[in-house]
Amino acid sequence: MTERERPMGPLPPGSTIGILGGGQLGRMLSLAAARLGLKCHIYDPAPAPPAAQVAAAHTAASYDDAEALLQFAWSVDAVTFEFENVPASTGAALAANAPVRPGPQAFAIAQDRVEEKAFLNGIGIGTAPWASVETETDLAAALAKTGAPGVLKTRRFGYDGKGQSRISDAGDLARAWEEIGGASAILEGFVAFQDEISVIAARGLDGQVVAYDPGRNEHRDGILHRTTVPAPVPRALTQQAVLMAGQILNALDYVGVIGVEFFCVGRDLLVNEIAPRVHNSGHWTQDACLIDQFEQHIRAVAGWPLGDGSRHSDAVMENLIGAEAEDWLRLSGEGQALHLYGKKEARAGRKMGHVTRLSPRG
């Protein structure tokens, strides 16, 4: 295969979008693309990932297979990602051979908790107090800066609360360092938040920004359990959260959907983290909005105008983790929308699906 012609303007129906990663997010992106007459080509090392069941093509190759990445880039009209921990060399190899949206800057920031906090603080957005920790000897000074209690987190490759250890006082530092594997880390002061909320927002190729109504998120064992929309928090906070999400999108010159997680502390908002992709706390948009987060992302990546993301109903989305999905028959009943990801094995802690319940917009 050789490099394909790349037309100017929005990708017409029939075009192919390449997605790195074939989990449930890639699957739901593929389904949304299909609705617009676009095809998806999944790149994922697994032989039969969930997204491949519903996509037009699948390349099963490792993320450092230069030849496979080149063939993939040439076979698609634009590339996007379902996860943020894409190796920088993989992103660069793709970007040299295809339009890649969002671009590498967003990944460099979202992959590294220190870069992320520095970026956010640099544009005037508050975060938990933090200090970078390179070696065990940095820990005491870091704790003096952030104050106790705190959370020690690996700088890179953390998700769903993994690679984190709580610290009550200086006596916990050595244990926490060992627990996270002694890797480059960030120490964060523990935030006594009242609520956690998130904003799912999108920015088009032309700079247009749209945001969904913020939801309140509840976690169990570090994994998102429930998102409630609208978030039952003061309106001033949700408005502020949407403005901050827009500010982040513009500062990154971003194209696509982003998820921004916030801590609500009194009248203040602190950003916990940003996810440069569609986000679990935005799954409710599938059933409660005209255009959901997946289609919005596909539209942005394909250079289409963004759609109407207004919400017609109130919604509560709950994840189905591990064996919870075995209850699929009951969960497919009246008044709820069941989404299953086509995963064979229901391992503990694995996201198997979600269910969304709607009520009239309040």
Site for ligand AMP (CB under 6 A): which residue of 10, 182, 222, 234? 222
Angle at 201 between CA 198 and CA 203, to 5 degrees: 155
Query: Is residue 219 at the binding interface for ligand AMP, with CB under 6 A as the rule?
Result: yes
Query: Is residue 112 at the binding interface for ligand AMP, with CB under 6 A as the rule?
Result: no
Q: How far is the CB of 160 from ligand AMP (least distance, A)?
A: 7
Q: How far is the CB of 69 from ligand AMP (least distance, A)?
A: 28
Query: Is residue 223 at the binding interface for ligand AMP, with CB under 6 A as the rule?
Result: no
| Residue with smaller CB distance to ligand AMP, 32 or 151 | 151
Q: Please state, in angstroms and rounded to a whole number, the distance separating the CA atoms of residues 189 and 186.
A: 10
Q: Which stretch binds ligand AMP (CB under 6 A): 76-84, 90-98, 187-195, 301-309?
A: 187-195
Query: Is residue 191 at the binding interface for ligand AMP, with CB under 6 A as the rule?
Result: yes
Q: Please state, in angstroms and rounded to a whole number, the distance separating the CA atoms of residues 62 and 279.
A: 24
Q: Which stretch binds ligand AMP (CB under 6 A): 40-48, 183-191, 207-215, 319-327?
A: 183-191
Q: How far is the CB of 153 from ligand AMP (least distance, A)?
A: 6
Query: Is residue 188 at the binding interface for ligand AMP, with CB under 6 A as the rule?
Result: yes
Contact 40, 17 (CB under 8 A): yes
Site for ligand AMP (CB under 6 A): which residue of 10, 13, 87, 161? 161
Query: Is residue 158 at the binding interface for ligand AMP, with CB under 6 A as the rule?
Result: yes
Q: Please state, in angstroms and rounded to a whole number, the distance separating the CA atoms of residues 133 and 74.
A: 41
Which letter does DSSP use for residue 161 in this model?
A: T
Q: Which stretch binds ligand AMP (CB under 6 A): 115-123, 186-194, 242-250, 303-311?
A: 186-194
| Residue with smaller CB distance to ligand AMP, 77 or 261 | 261
Q: Which stretch binds ligand AMP (CB under 6 A): 132-140, 185-193, 236-244, 337-345?
A: 185-193
Site for ligand AMP (CB under 6 A): which residue of 17, 40, 151, 199? 151
Helix (H, G, I), strand (E, B), or coil: what is residue 30? helix
What are the Cα distances from residue 360, in Å, to 217, 229, 286, 335, 339?
Answer: 20, 12, 16, 12, 21
Contact 292, 337 (CB under 8 A): no
- Measure the CA dihedral 157/160/161/163, to 10°: -20
Using alpha carbons, select from 14, 26, 28 the residue that is nearest to residue 337: 28
| Residue with smaller CB distance to ligand AMP, 149 or 322 | 149
Radius of gyration of the chain (CA): 20
Q: How far is the CB of 258 from ligand AMP (least distance, A)?
A: 15
Site for ligand AMP (CB under 6 A): which residue of 77, 112, 116, 196? 196
Q: Please state, in angstroms and rounded to a whole number, the distance separating the CA atoms of residues 131 and 155.
A: 11
Q: Please state, in angstroms and rounded to a whole number, the distance separating the CA atoms of residues 280 and 331.
A: 19
| Residue with smaller CB distance to ligand AMP, 152 or 252 | 152
Query: Is residue 198 at the binding interface for ligand AMP, with CB under 6 A as the rule?
Result: no
Query: Is residue 109 at the binding interface for ligand AMP, with CB under 6 A as the rule?
Result: no
Q: How far is the CB of 225 from ligand AMP (least distance, A)?
A: 11
Q: Please state, in angstroms and rounded to a whole number, the distance separating the CA atoms of residues 135 and 143.
A: 13
Q: Please state, in angstroms and rounded to a whole number, the distance separating the CA atoms of residues 272 and 113.
A: 10
Site for ligand AMP (CB under 6 A): which residue of 74, 83, 190, 328? 190
Contact 301, 101 (CB under 8 A): yes
Q: Please state, in angstroms and rounded to a whole number, the distance separating the CA atoms of residues 89 and 338.
A: 38
| Residue with smaller CB distance to ligand AMP, 34 or 108 | 108
Q: Please state, in angstroms and rounded to a whole number, the distance separating the CA atoms of residues 73 and 91.
A: 11
- Which residues are at the interface with ligand AMP (CB under 6 A)? 128, 151, 158, 161, 188, 190-191, 196, 219, 222, 272-273
